[in-house]
């Protein structure tokens, strides 16, 4: 029997307009070719023992049925305490927090809750690939504002204020802000955040922020939530989660903090999308959020050391590295290798050298903008980074040819 779909049952137009995740595809390729996976951003080292124990205890104590749809009370209370502690922002856990299946669900639920067809959302690019399909699924039109790479690897990615201002129209609903940023490692400065705040207020636009790398930050930088700036608490949706801070990307626990009217709408969407995030892992999450400040300090220090381990190996192999200020990725320029594009290059890396990375084009709406860039994730053990570094040194022969 022919099981392919018949024309009268054609697929949703929405689905036709985006591809599968390139990041996840690169992980499958890494498995296929037994490559070192520096593509998808998940740690290859254990989560803290204490929070694993809390998850085990929660299951043993039969926290095995649905949590309240918008999140277990313990976890919402812990999130509110953290937001107050780190950002000085008061939020009411009863009316302003929605716990979701990862920050990925928080973002799509937020956009579905806010956007109507014709609404525009501003996205800085290069951008984390989910935001493109998120916009399409929610009916919003993405409008891109460029982050320009520094002339040398040590500088900052910057945007042009005039371009941002020009991108805002009557239909603009929100600016999506991801700081610390994936894939560039940019940490938006206080001055940049104030500028974005001023535009949000002037044009009555919301800020939807992805702050999942909040605690992974280097060189003495500090993370600032735009919601903590005057005039922004009432116009921000702040998204975060357990995944990166506690090395539990597979637990799928995230959240959105927003004013009560927006939270109501997000909760409705979330309820019918997923009902709720895993109940025992929410309890463990509440315990994780109670870890002492030293935990977050050593997290940032250990990631700084991983960054400083991978970058010299990449540089030696011929990459031009844009040094990240936060998050756990390094964007590189691959012009020196003379490949036609990033996809040809990452295919070569995974098949011939046994290292998986993400082609830069998957972070741009026009693929050619990323055609000479490749992203490496360094949330990996020292042995993994060293093995990748060793394999990549074979590129030197290629450059000499
Ligand atoms: N955020 C991670 C990355 O950019 C993982 C994404 C995912 O697969 N959910 O690699």
Evaluate if residue 1 carries a pLDDT over 60: no
- Pairwise CA distance, residues 185 & 310, whole Å: 14
Angle between helices 293-317 and 382-392 (to 10 degrees): 10
Q: Which atom of ligand 1 is nearest to the CA of 104?
A: 9
Percent share of the chain, pLDDT over 90: 91
pLDDT band per the 50, 70, 90 thresholds, residue 193: very high
For 231-256, give the secondary structure using H, E and C: CCHHHEEEEEECCCCCCCCCCCCEEE
Q: Is residue 292's pLDDT more than 90?
A: yes
| Residue-wise pLDDT tens digits, 95-147 | 999 999 999 999 999 999 999 999 999 999 999 999 999 999 999 999 999 99
Spacing, Cα 208 to ligand 1 middle (Å): 18
Q: Which residues of 288-311 are buried (b: 16+ CB within 10 A; e: fewer)?
A: bbeeeeebbeebbeebeebbeebb
Nearest atom in ligand 1 to 358's CA: 10
Pocket of ligand 1 from Cβ distances under 6 Å:
23-24, 40-41, 128, 182, 377
Nearest-angstrom CA–CA distance, 194 and 178:
15
**Residue to mutate (ligand 1; options 29, 31, 40, 247; most atoms within 8 A of CB):** 40
Check residue 2 and give its pLDDT: 66
pLDDT band at 7 (very low <50, low <70, confident <90, very high): low
Distance between Cα 166 and ligand 1 center (Å):
30
Please give the pLDDT value at position 6: 67
The mean of the pLDDT values for the chain is 96
Cα separation, 253 vs 277, in Å, equals 6
Report the separation in Å between the CA atom of 252 and the middle of ligand 1, taken as the mean of its atom positions: 12
Q: How confident is the model at residue 401 (pLDDT cuts 50, 70, 90)?
A: low
- Residue 23 — φ and ψ, nearest 5°? -60, -50
Per-residue model confidence (pLDDT) at position 397: 81
Measured distance CA(60)–CA(47) in Å, rounded: 19
Nearest residue (by CA) to ligand 1, atom 8, is 24
Residue with CA closest to ligand 1 atom 5: 41
- Across the strands, what pairs with 355? 36
**How much is the average pLDDT of 215-230?**
95
Q: Whose CA is nearest to atom 3 of ligand 1?
A: 41
Band of residue 383 on the pLDDT scale cut at 50, 70, 90: very high
Q: Could you tell me the distance, in angstroms and rounded to a whole number, from the CA of residue 253 to the centre of ligand 1?
A: 14
Measured between alpha carbons, how far is 305 from 327 in angstroms, rounded to an integer? 13
Query: Average pLDDT, stretch 370-375?
Result: 98
Residue 320, pLDDT above cutoff 60:
yes
Measure 41 CA to ligand 1 centroid, in angstroms.
5
pLDDT in tens, 41-98: 999 999 999 999 999 999 999 999 999 999 999 999 999 999 999 999 999 999 999 9
Q: How far, in Å, is the centroid of ligand 1 from the Cα of 189?
A: 24
Q: pLDDT at position 220, please?
A: 86
Going by alpha carbons, the residue nearest to atom 2 of ligand 1 is: 41
Q: What are the angstrom distances between the C-alpha of 32 and each of 160, 268, 353, 355, 381?
A: 42, 40, 13, 12, 21
- Which atom of ligand 1 sits closest to the CA of residue 212? 1
The whole model's pTM is what? 0.96
- Residue 229: the pLDDT is 98
Q: Which of 28, 39, 41, 327 has the most ligand 1 atoms within 8 A of CB, as the residue to mutate?
A: 41
Nearest to 376 by CA among 297, 301, 320, 335: 320
For residue 318, pLDDT beyond 60: yes
Probe target for ligand 1 pocket from 102, 104, 108, 128, with the most ligand atoms within 8 Å of CB:
128
159 Cα–ligand 1 center, Å: 24
């Amino acid at each position: 029997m022919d099981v392919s779909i018949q024309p009268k049952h054609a697929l949703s137009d929405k689905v036709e307009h985006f591809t599968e995740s390139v990041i996840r595809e690169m992980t499958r390729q890494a498995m296929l070719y037994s490559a070192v996976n520096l593509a998808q951003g998940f740690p290859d080292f254990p989560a803290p023992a204490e929070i694993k124990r809390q998850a085990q205890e929660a299951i043993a104590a039969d926290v095995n049925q649905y949590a309240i749809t918008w999140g277990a009370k313990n976890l919402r209370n812990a999130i509110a305490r953290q937001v107050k502690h780190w950002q000085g922002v008061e939020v009411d856990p009863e009316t302003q927090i929605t716990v979701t299946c990862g920050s990925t669900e928080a973002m799509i639920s937020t956009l579905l809750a806010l956007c109507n067809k014709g609404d525009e959302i501003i996205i800085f690019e290069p951008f984390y690939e989910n935001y493109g399909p998120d916009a399409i699924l929610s009916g919003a039109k993405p409008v891109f504002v460029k982050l320009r790479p520094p002339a040398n690897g040590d500088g900052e990615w910057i945007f042009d204020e005039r371009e941002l201002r020009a991108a805002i129209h009557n239909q603009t609903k929100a600016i999506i802000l991801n700081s610390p940023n994936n894939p560039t490692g940019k940490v938006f400065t206080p001055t940049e955040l104030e500028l974005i705040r001023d535009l949000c207020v002037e044009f009555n636009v919301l800020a939807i922020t992805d702050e999942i790398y909040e605690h992974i930050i280097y060189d003495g930088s500090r993370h600032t939530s735009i919601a903590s700036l005057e005039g922004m608490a009432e116009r921000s949706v702040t998204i975060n989660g357990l995944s990166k801070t506690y090395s539990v990307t597979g637990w799928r626990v995230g959240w959105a903090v927003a004013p009560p009217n927006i939270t109501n709408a997000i909760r409705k969407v979330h309820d019918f999308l997923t009902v709720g995030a895993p109940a025992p892992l929410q309890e463990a999450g509440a315990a994780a959020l109670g870890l002492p400040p030293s935990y977050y300090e050593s997290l940032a220090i250990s990631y700084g050391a991983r960054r400083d381990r991978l970058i010299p190996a990449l540089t030696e192999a011929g990459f031009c590295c844009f040094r990240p200020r936060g998050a756990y990725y390094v964007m590189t320029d691959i012009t020196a290798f003379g490949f036609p594009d990033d996809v040809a290059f990452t295919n070569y890396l995974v098949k011939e050298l046994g290292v998986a990375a993400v082609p830069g084009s998957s972070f741009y709406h026009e693929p050619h903008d990323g055609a000479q860039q490749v992203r490496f994730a360094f949330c990996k053990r020292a042995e993994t980074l060293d093995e990748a570094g060793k394999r990549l040194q074979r590129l030197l022969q290629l450059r000499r040819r």
